Structure 1
C-alpha cells in the first residue's frame, strides 16, 4: 500500500470523488485499486504529477456496460 500512497497521490477533489464512487458503487478493494491504477495512467498521459478528479472520472467511465465496475 505504500507504493499507492507514493505514486498515486490524489488532490482533494479526486479523493472525494473516488470515496463517493467507492460507496455509491459498492466497490471492492480490488476495483478501488484498479480505478486508482487506471487514473494514474491517465494522469501520466497528461503529464500530471497528481491524480485529479477528471482522471478519476475518466477511469470510472471504463466500467462494464451493465453498470458494474471492472473486477
Structure 2
C-alpha cells in the first residue's frame, strides 16, 4: 500500500480519521475499492466500515440499474 501526504488547511478542523473515512467512502462509492479494501484504509472491520457509510453520505446499495438486475437475478 502506498502513502500519500496531503496538506489541508488547519481551518478545516477535520480529524485524520474523518478525512480517511471520507476518502475511503468516496472510493468505495465509485467502485474503485471494495468494502474490505476501503475498511483497511480506515483501520476498521468490513462490517464497521459498512455501518459507518451512512454517516458520510454513502449508501451501501448501488444506484446502477445493471447492479440491481444482477442482485435480483442472484436473489
Higher relative contact order (CA 8 A, sep 6+): 1
Q: TM-score, normalised by structure 1?
A: 0.33
Specify the structure having the higher radius of gyration (Cα). 2
Q: TM-score, normalised by structure 2?
A: 0.31
